[in-house]
Chains A and B, each alone.
Chain A
Amino acid sequence: METIRNFRRFCLDSLRLVVVGNRAYYGWVAFLLALMGLGIVAYLGQFQDGLIHTNMRDQVSWGFYIGNFTFLVGLAAAAIMLVIPAYVYEWKPIKEIAILGELLAISALVMCLGFVLVDIGRPDRFWHIMPLVGLLNFPSSLLAWDVIALNSYLLLNYVVATYLLYCAYTDRHYVKGFVYPLVFLSIPMAVSIHTVTAYLYNGLGARPYWNSAILAPRFLASAFCSGPAILLILLQILRKTTRLEIKDEAIFKIAELMAYTMGFNLFLTAAEAFKEFYTNSQDVVFIRYLYLGLRGHYTLVPFAWASVLCGLVAFLLFLVPKTRKNWVTLNIGCVLIYASVYIEKGMGLIIPGLTPDTLGEIYTYRPSLTEVGVASGIFALGFLVFTLMLKVAVPVMLGDFTMAGRPARSAAAA
């Protein structure tokens, strides 16, 4: 009973916390809300007239939405880059900030679900694929697997993060027997969400570009270099703007881990390219369309090479200890690897998988304004969720936001 009352208090206090802030905070939230408004306006058109507002057609029937979805699943999976050193190796500097990874995963998954919702032709039937509510074609359909995996991972992270924050709020130590099993479960689950998402494509025999055994390993490798890149920049921002102490060694340790995954990611990309180009069978057309252009169509070529180049430069910057420990080059590397994977695991994955189509036709897909507008709205939603969660989590981590200190603090905030 007491717990319920305390939890209610925690929720109410959190709400009070997120509605007050300084000018920068209000400005940022207003900006995100405006972007979300734009997204809603863009989506209304699509909602009324259907997918014809997008540039997806039967030849390229998945595009920008699902590209972003795929990339963001990787971002969500990358939370374990913090969880593993924190809980498996009990490495103190990272353990203090591991919860940020979990919050990032929650926001990424919210965006993922948003992208799935806007992508389907009948959003009024979204409940058909909701676990427990709808009838899922499980275990046959990998999409059903993906829905279950993503929702479970979302739930898991939500429970763990909320529980940890609540414990800190009530000034108690968390129950190890409750948190550790869940945290350890989250490690295979993070691997599984991205593996299942890879299998979503991998399982289609009709699309040889995706039908490669190293697709899932590539998904994981790229996720584990792009996800932490966002975290690294975020940690630096938090360090600057709040009293949160994040040790240099935590950041450099993550950067070192990223160097390995980036190297592995490049190796796997090269392995795929070798197999396709050297055997030069009829299935080479897809990777050709991506890297060299096909029958006079070169739309993806500059993006594909930009991705390779960014990935290479970022790898070198992270590999050399000197540039890894230099804040300027470190941040350049983060932006580069983010851009590289965003291209590779977004449009660089979806579009060549579907072009040329099964009948050999080439339809040049470019996202429409509607798609870009809706996508920016969903990104804004994700950032908003993350911002609001941080608004609560950071004071909790600092010990400013506790039940005991409540009256004084809330008076000071007001």
Chain B
Amino acid sequence: MEADRREFLKQTGLLLVLTGAAAQAWDFVLAGEPEKAPTYKLLDHWWAMAMDIRKCIGCGNCVRACKTENGVLLEPDCFRTWVERYHVHPDDPEHPEVDSPNGGYDGFPEKYKAGDGSKNFFVPKMCNHCAHSPCVQVCPVGATFESPDGVVLVDKTYCLGCRYCVQACPYGCRYIDPRTETVDKCSLCYHRITKGLTTACCEVCPMGARKLGDLKDPKDPIHDFLKDHMIHVLKPEMATGAKAYYNGLDGSVR
């Protein structure tokens, strides 16, 4: 009886934490053989990211985890994900003060005093994995592409380094990796999510401010997140089909 209950709790917890396909693969991951998990089917997934501004505390865990997991250079120009701090005066909401020291890698030093009538919040940013990506549209050699499961990826072995996509991205998500002289950006931890794991940034977020979601999985909690909150994407006027969904995104965020 005791064992059954523990088993039940474990399964429920897993279901809550992991997405459908991921839950299936979890046993293999625990056994240390994630490569033996059921074959990943591209067409069964449509990945997205749910971000909750109200939960983000600017600790920078995601930035550090991302750099470690993906071998991103520690230089302060190279980020696959970064966190911005907004400081908005109520009398001038159109011109927020934004800072992102080292992309939030080291957290944010105290800067603004409480109670001066302004509001402060953090905005975690990353590639929006747009469904109609301007970067994919403009790449002259097709080195950037959308995978059938909704992830925008870069073939670093074919990229020219022409930087046309860097200019096409409305969100500033792309940078040139000085080691390869080719473009680099968030891959949504593709090497992890296809093995049933979540992304490194989601894994380490202490507040659950970002959650990877599979829009093709009806049981994924992202559906409730999208339904129960006032959701916004960055620069909706660009109509890029951005799939980084924010709850509590202030109008001053650019």
Contacts and interface: CB of A to CB of B under 8 A. Distances in A.
Q: Do A and B bind each other?
A: yes
Interface of A: 50-52, 56-58, 61-62, 119-122, 125-126, 128-129, 134-137, 140-144, 147, 200, 203-207, 282, 353-354, 357-360
B138 A122 contact: no
Given A125-B158, A205-B238, A360 B139 contact: no
A128 B238 contact: no
B35 to A, nearest CB: 31
Interface residues of B, number: 36
B142 A143 contact: no
A51 B176 contact: yes
B242 to A, nearest CB: 12
Interface stretch (B160-168, B193-201, B208-216, B221-229): B160-168
B172 A122 contact: no
Given A206-B169, A358-B171, A359-B172, A122 B159 contact: yes
Interface of B: 77, 84, 94, 98, 134, 136-143, 158-164, 166-172, 174-176, 178, 180-182, 238, 254
Given A51-B161, A58-B174, A206-B238, A142 B169 contact: no
B139 A137 contact: yes
A200 B168 CA distance: 10
Contact of A203 (B138, B139, B143, B182): B138
B98 A360 contact: yes
Given A58-B176, A205-B170, A140 B137 contact: yes
Contacts of A120: 160-162
B141 A128 contact: yes
Contact of A143 (B140, B166, B169): B140
Contacts of A61: 163, 166-167, 176
Q: Is the interface of A mostly helix, strand, loop or mixed?
A: loop
Contact of A204 (B134, B160, B162, B181): B134
B160 A51 contact: no
B181 A141 contact: no
A129 B181 CA distance: 16
Task: Identify the interface centre among B143, B168, B171: most chain A CB within 10 Å of its CB.
Answer: B168
A204 B168 contact: yes
B158 A121 contact: no
B131 to A, nearest CB: 15
Given A51-B178, A205-B238, A358-B170, 4 more contacts: A58-B77, A120-B162, A129-B140, A282-B94
A360 B170 CA distance: 11
Chain A CB count within 10 A is highest, among B159, B167, B171, for: B167
A204 B141 contact: no
A358 B169 contact: yes
A62 B138 CA distance: 15
A292 B138 CA distance: 31
B94 to A, nearest CB: 8
B179 to A, nearest CB: 9
12 contacts: A58-B174, A119-B162, A121-B160, A128-B158, A129-B160, A141-B140, A141-B142, A143-B138, A143-B162, A206-B168, A206-B238, A207-B167
